[in-house]
Chain A
Amino acid sequence: MASARSLIGRASDGDQAAWNAIVDRFSGLVWATTRSYRLADAEAADVTQTTWLRLVENLDRIHDPDRLGAWLATTARRECLRLIRRSGRELASDDEWVLDTPTDDPLDGPLLARERDAALGRALARIGERCQALLRLVALADPPTYEEIGAALGMPIGAIGPTRARCLDKLRRSPELAGHSSA
């Protein structure tokens, strides 16, 4: 893929192909970031749209193209917080970092046809929002850097490695997965 600097420059001149390449590269990161804040689908779509509009209006002001992913994740996170506060909801915890409590809405539904998927979904619901959000980002097809994950979650970079290991361990030890070998 062309360098981020060149893509930004071309997109700034209106090159739709260059812009599409940027969207393709970071679309998953922006979407997964909105998923960290438990937004409804329509809200997640709005935040995502605002994030991309924010990049369009700042195309000529991105000073460090290599950190574009972190810029987008930071922007998406800010827009999530803006929407949450605007709607009068409170964040789960005071430090803008979701609580480590189990949720009651695992990734269920007909899409999870396979038994292993269903077990993974139940296990994810058990490990808490904090771990879910982190693993959602870690498991992106185009794995984000720790800087990007930290920007998405408002989490110190140094905490990400240990938290990742702990969350994966919790997941592996959950009753749904313990005793099954991973494929």
Chain B
Amino acid sequence: MPESDPDESLVAELQALFARSDPVPPVVDEAARAALGWRRLDADLAELLGDSALERGELVGARGAGGPARSVSFRAGGLSIDLEIHVDGAECMLLGQLSPGAAVEIEIQTLDDDLAVTAATDRLGRFRARITGGRSIRLRVPAGGGPASARAVETSWIGI
């Protein structure tokens, strides 16, 4: 575009306006920098495959008391992890299933180390846990939790 383009001077004005009125909050940038600390060192990623919160249709808007639970699924190699999230006030009840099933101790990590909780699966791979909502979580399944048992598995982060 030519330099005399009046659009460009208006864009420059907007740039100055947004830089003053809506900069990225420093705390947001600090959190972004800190995110690198959560990279996986000794675990495979169980990728987020499905999330009913992203599906369209009648479920949209139906939540809360009596509403359907959100279901989320992850997969890493031969291991799949299905999770139902039931919102119960400020808390979330997580009902999960490892497939294939194995009795292991799952760690539910949050961005605040102090709040991590563990849940034991039964021999069919089922587990349940309660955790306060309004946070990001990921699940860590230790080595031995699946067919590809040589390494631990960590899920993608999800907000609950």
Q: Interface residues, chain A, CB within 8 Å of chain B?
A: 11-12, 14, 16, 19-20, 23, 27-28, 30-32, 35, 41, 44-46, 48-50, 52-59, 78-79, 81-83, 85-90, 107, 109, 111-112, 116-117, 120-121, 135-136, 138-141, 164-165, 168, 171-172, 182-183
Q: Offer 10 A-B interface pairs, CB within 8 angstroms, sorted by A.
A: A14-B36, A23-B29, A31-B28, A57-B38, A58-B45, A78-B54, A83-B159, A89-B61, A121-B21, A139-B18
B6:A182 contact, CB within 8 angstroms: yes
Most buried by A among B39, B40, B61: B39
Contacts A46-B159, A88-B61, A121-B17 known; 10 new A-B pairs at CB < 8 A: A44-B28, A56-B39, A57-B38, A78-B54, A82-B51, A89-B61, A138-B11, A139-B17, A182-B10, A183-B9
Q: A46-B159, A88-B62 in contact; A52/B32 too (CB < 8 A)? A: yes
Inter-subunit contact A49/B36 (CB<8 Å): no
Contact code string B35-70 (vs A, CB < 8 Å = 1, else 0): 110111000010000010110000011111000001
Q: Are A141 and B19 in contact (CB under 8 A)?
A: yes
Tell whether B124 is near chain A: CB-to-CB under 8 Å: no
Q: Which residues of B contact A50 (CB under 8 A)?
A: 136, 157-159
CA distance A28 to B11 in the complex (A): 16
B residues near A58, Cβ cutoff 8 Å: 45
Q: When the two chains form their complex, are residues A139 and B28 in contact, meaning their CB atoms are under 8 A apart?
A: no
**Within 8 Å of chain A (Cβ to Cβ): is B22?**
yes
Known A35-B22, A90-B61: A16·B36 in contact at CB below 8 Å: yes
Q: Are A11 and B7 in contact (CB under 8 A)?
A: no
* A-B contacts, CB under 8 A, total: 141
Q: Are A82 and B36 in contact (CB under 8 A)?
A: no
- B interface vs A, CB < 8 Å? 6-7, 9-11, 13-15, 17-22, 24-25, 27-29, 31-33, 35-36, 38-40, 45, 51, 53-54, 60-64, 70, 111, 136, 154, 156-159
Closest 8 CB pairs of A and B: A139-B14, A52-B35, A86-B53, A19-B36, A139-B15, A31-B24, A52-B32, A88-B63
